[in-house]
Amino acid sequence: MEEIKESRATGVKGDASKFVPMSLTLGRGLDIGTANLVCAARTTDGETIIRAQRNAFMDIVSNPFTKNMLTKLDVNYVVSDGALCVLGDPAFEFANIFNRNMRRPMKNGFISPDETDALPMIKVLVENIVGHPREKGDVCYFSIPAEPVDMEMNVVYHKGIFQGILRRLGYTPRDMIEGHAVVFSELADEDFTGIGISCGGGLFNVCVCYKTVPAISFSISRGGDWIDENVARVTGIPVSRATFIKERGVDLTNPRNRVEEAVAIYYRNLITYTLDVLKHEFKHSRSLPTFPEPIVIACSGGTTMIKGFEEVFREEFEKSDFPIEVKEIRRAADPLNSVARGLLVASISEE
């Protein structure tokens, strides 16, 4: 599916109606996540607004009735080679209704090599949420993963694809690693010094920063998806069911059944693993700053939204014999949008 013949995009969730180029200042922040695409912009009144979509699509049987129905329901879709694909949030709804899995353009933080239609779909998804620039050459910061410690991945290709998409829309693209963006949004009061961790669906991204300058950054190819896949495997339920149960509300400190118990076990394991890698990097990095004062660790991303996340993180941190002094472990106030907000701050600082 290389060429898209027809595309229709409205009804994007978030502050869609306010996303009119003339009512926005210059600068955009675009968080390109495995699970969600989030765009932040600022209005001329100084208000930050957010537009978001699931990074997913699903092909459905096309007939004249479906297309009319989708138009009536205000659902985003594209038609290509006679196939009809719904995009973004509706893909999740359709998948649950028809008991199928949605198709996803990205996997573990990068464009998925296993999904043949990844490129045309993600192009339309990005265009829909970023929209047109206010002026040609307007700066758009977009997030890229830091080099994974546990997987061979091509950051160059991934970055090049999104630079191309944004340039064709009329933006000047600038990339920023995801953990760095967390520092920009969460650690302003600390003069952008400390550790930012973005806990997403496909990856955990870590950045150790001193006065805006990243000293250590890396990613781990585990996140919410990894938890869901493992929970599904050990309990014998479908992955989408595991996701549903996890997001419905589990308390990590008080699991009530076998599936919730599995969620809690994998969560704790993922947090310990992240702290272990961080300690290892601290030990072996030559670029580690000597922090004059105890620092803050800020966590953001959808995976931090589970009840008990901070408690478990603090417990594991206490056990970890961490090599530097930490005064506070903090969760972002708006975990799903924190990276996009940080990228917007970066683009506005540049303008």
Ligand X SMILES: Nc1ncnc2c1ncn2[C@@H]1O[C@H](COP(=O)(O)OP(=O)(O)O)[C@@H](O)[C@H]1O
Residues within the interface to ligand X (CB under 6 A):
33-36, 200-202, 223-225, 243, 246-247, 301-303, 305-306, 336
* 33 interacts with Mg ion by CB under 5 A: yes
Residue nearer to ligand X on the CB measure, 192 or 309:
309
Rounded distance between C-alpha atoms, residue 218 and residue 274, angstroms: 10
Cα separation of the two ends of the chain: 38
Q: Which of ligand X, Mg ion, none does residue 326 bind (CB under 5 to 8 Å by kind)? A: none
H or E segment at 207?
A: strand 204-210
Q: Which of ligand X, Mg ion, none does residue 305 bind (CB under 5 to 8 Å by kind)? A: ligand X
Q: Which of ligand X, Mg ion, none does residue 243 bind (CB under 5 to 8 Å by kind)? A: ligand X
Region of residue 14 (left: phi > 0; alpha: psi -120 to 50; beta: else): left
H or E segment at 89?
A: helix 89-97
The answer to whether 304 and 330 are in contact (CB under 8 A) is no
Residue that has been written with the tokens 């620092």 in this structure? 295
* Residues sharing a CB contact under 8 Å with residue 173, sequence separation 6 or more, in sequence order: 140, 142, 162, 163, 166, 167
Q: Which of ligand X, Mg ion, none does residue 324 bind (CB under 5 to 8 Å by kind)? A: none
Could you tell me which residues are beta bridge partners of residue 176?
143
* Burial class of residue 81, CB neighbours in 10 A (0-12, 13-18, 19+): exposed
Rounded distance between C-alpha atoms, residue 195 and residue 180, angstroms: 9
CB-side exposure of 325: number of CA atoms within 13 Å? Answer: 6
Residue nearer to Mg ion on the CB measure, 120 or 200:
200
Residue nearer to Mg ion on the CB measure, 33 or 133:
33
Residue nearer to ligand X on the CB measure, 70 or 262:
262
Smallest gap from residue 189 Cβ to ligand X (A): 23
Q: How many residues bind Mg ion (CB under 5 A)?
A: 2
* 200 interacts with Mg ion by CB under 5 A: yes
Residue nearer to ligand X on the CB measure, 36 or 80:
36
* 148 interacts with Mg ion by CB under 5 A: no
Smallest gap from residue 252 Cβ to ligand X (A): 10
Q: Which of Mg ion, ligand X, none does residue 224 bind (CB under 5 to 8 Å by kind)? A: ligand X
* 224 interacts with Mg ion by CB under 5 A: no
Residue nearer to ligand X on the CB measure, 133 or 224:
224
Smallest gap from residue 109 Cβ to Mg ion (A): 8
Under the rule (CB under 5 A), what is the footprint of Mg ion?
A: 33, 200
